[in-house]
Amino acid sequence: MTPILSLRGYSYAWPGAPSWTLREVDLEVNPGECHCLMGGTGSGKSTLALAVKGLLPAGRQGGNLLLNRAGGEDSVAVGLVMQNPETQLLAETVGAEVAFGLENLCRPPQEMTQRVTQALATAGLNLPLDHPTSRLSMGQKYRLLIAAHLVLGPALLIFDEPGGQLDSPGLRCLSALIAELKEKGLAVLLCDHRSQELAGVIDRFWQLTEAGGLAAGAMPLEPAPPLPGALPPLPLSRKSLVEVTNLEVDADDGAPAWAGISFTLQEGERAVLCADNGAGKTTLLRCLAGFIAPRRGSVKIFGDSPKPEKLRGKLGFLVQNPLRQLFETTVFDEVSFVLRRTGAANATLSARVERILQLCDIAHLARSSPHQLSYGQKHLVALAAVLVAEPRLLLLDDPFAGLDGRYLSRVSQLLVNLNEEKGTTLLWTTHDRGSFPSWVHRRMTIEGRSLVSSFC
């Protein structure tokens, strides 16, 4: 059997980098196989995926990388769904995005409509073809890109960190899709360090080593973040920092996203909000931060209606896509930006920045460009830039996306310490219902159009 993908002693170093990111990698993927490439945050998983797709810049390379194109006239050798779906979206509507590749192949319009509709259904994204891509959640955007690649019939399909973007229904859909692709003789390469939900369709596990090599691996048993300490009781005498009453916000179709949700967060509380892709988690955080006006009901932050200019310095907001928050040329400048804007003395600024970089375990990246880091590392930099200001209220949109178990535990400990030492109130979102930390005071879920809240 001729492999679809063959790497023999393949090595790669990014332009200007002193060391190899990938070193003498050997890998073969045959038709009908699914391989999973594991490794910690920043280990080189995405670099290998980009290498196979042919998207790496001209750095130092060695060894051989061979692809065997197999398929019909409309097929492509490799399809790559990147970790951050927003870097790949091109069109304004769902239908146009999936049809883009077929248009470049000059397929008849009547044929394209049928194939686009089928691809969207297979990816589990049942939306009108004219639905704007800008109104999709990150998980929905990931599904959209799956459809956009499926329609081209690639011989090899690569999924970069699907577990970081897809909820449980999305991962079940992807598992069924991979099984179907394998039956058709196509090959799949997963780049993920949290692969338990897809383990049933994976034939081989591989582990990227710290030196950049590739070794045979096994399905990881990803440990949950350890309990940072006994969970202190939440004092009932503390004042409410966040008050939400009968809140409704317009969804994409003009209808309310929820049926009048209400909740309060006390000062010093730790709360997590869990819901599936597209349920409105990001919309809720944006409303709390003052970026979206309520359709009905009220929101009070620190006793007043939220306005971004009034919340500066008191509220920290980590958005889901770190690229939307990174703009400086070095990690140090990125993290120090807010302190420079507030006129902090140089000595104080440097000490606080260096401390938060060490706590996030990214001090070694201080002089690196944040734009050349892995997705997980970018998330850490964006988080450090929010935490360095020591806000009283933290709104974190999927803060653990792209992080391996080690970094996830480290960030969890950092948030708990900030809460205990500074009294910071925490509210963050996740689509992973199986990863509720044990150190939260409250767990909230969006079920249908209602909010269900329970104290731990």
What is the mean pLDDT of the segment spanning 46-51?
A: 94
* pLDDT confidence of residue 13: 93
Note the pLDDT tens digit of each residue in 76-109: 689 999 999 999 999 999 999 999 999 998 889 8
Q: Which range, of 48-62, 374-388, 435-449, averages the lowest pLDDT?
A: 435-449
* Lowest model confidence (mean pLDDT) among 300-304, 333-337, 401-405: 401-405
- Residues 237-258: tens digit of each pLDDT: 468 899 999 998 876 555 567 7
Tens digits of per-residue pLDDT, 146-155?
A: 999 999 999 9
**What pLDDT was estimated at residue 72?**
45
Band (233; pLDDT cuts 50, 70, 90): low
Amino acid 77: pLDDT: 86
The number of residues making up the chain comes to 456
Task: Name the nearest CA neighbour of 284 among 442, 411, 396, 379.
Answer: 396
- Asked whether the predicted pLDDT for residue 195 surpasses 50, the reply is yes
Is the predicted pLDDT of residue 74 greater than 50, yes or no?
Answer: no
Q: Which residue has the higher pLDDT, 71 or 297?
A: 297
| d(C-alpha 345, C-alpha 348), whole Å | 5
pLDDT over threshold 50, residue 226: no
Query: Is the pLDDT assigned to residue 398 strictly greater than 80?
Result: yes
Q: What is the pLDDT of residues 27-46, one digit of tens each?
A: 999 999 999 999 888 889 99
Please give the pLDDT value at position 437. Answer: 67
Chain-wide mean pLDDT for the chain? 88
pLDDT, residue 235, reads 52
Instruction: Output the 3-class SS for 383-451.
Output: HHHHHCCCCCEEEEECCCCCCCHHHHHHHHHHHHHHHHHHCCEEEEEECCCCCCCCCCCEEEEEECCEE
Question: Does the pLDDT value for residue 412 go beyond 60?
Answer: yes
CB 389 within 8 A of CB 425: no
Q: What is the pLDDT of residues 282-331, one digit of tens each?
A: 999 999 999 988 989 999 999 999 998 889 889 999 998 888 999 999 99
User: Is there a contact between 47 and 82 (Cβ–Cβ < 8 Å)?
Assistant: no
Closest CA to 355 of 316, 323, 326, 384: 384
What's the pLDDT at 60? 93
Question: pTM for the whole thing?
Answer: 0.83
What are the tens digits of pLDDT across the range 132-167? 999 899 999 999 999 999 999 999 999 999 988 898
Q: Which residue has the higher pLDDT, 401 or 15?
A: 15
Q: Residue 411's pLDDT band (boundaries 50, 70, 90)?
A: confident
Mind spelling out the 3-state secondary structure of the chain?
A: CCCCEEEEEEEEECCCCCCCCEEEEEEEECCCCEEEEECCCCCCHHHHHHHHHCCCCCCEEEEEEEECCCCCCCCCCEEEECCCHHHCCCCCEHHHHHHHHHHHCCCCHHHHHHHHHHHHHHCCCCCCCCCEHHHCCHHHHHHHHHHHHHCCCCCEEEEECHHHCCCHHHHHHHHHHHHHHHHCCCEEEEECCCCHHHHHHCCEEEEECCCCCEEEECCCCCCCCCCCCCCCCCCCCCCEEEEEEEEECECCCCCECCCCEEEEEECCCEEEEECCCCCCHHHHHHHHCCCCCCCEEEEEECCECCCHHHHCCCEEEECCCHHHCCCCCCHHHHHHHHHHHCCCCHHHHHHHHHHHHHHCCCHHHCCCCHHHCCHHHHHHHHHHHHHCCCCCEEEEECCCCCCCHHHHHHHHHHHHHHHHHHCCEEEEEECCCCCCCCCCCEEEEEECCEEEEEEC
Q: Is the pLDDT of residue 200 over 80?
A: yes
Answer yes or no: is pLDDT of 208 > 80. yes
**Among 252, 259, 320, which residue's Cα sits nearest to residue 286?**
320
Q: If you search the block for the tokens 């991962």, which residue do you land on?
A: 171
Q: Name the pLDDT band for 210 (thresholds 50, 70, 90).
A: confident
For residue 224, what pLDDT band results from cuts at 50, 70 and 90?
Answer: very low
Rounded Cα distance, 201 and 436, in Å = 26
What pLDDT shows up at residue 434? Answer: 66
Share of the chain above pLDDT 90, in %: 56
Res. 71: pLDDT tops 60: no
Least confident of 64-68, 371-375, 431-435: 431-435
Q: How many CB atoms lie within 10 A of CB 288?
A: 23
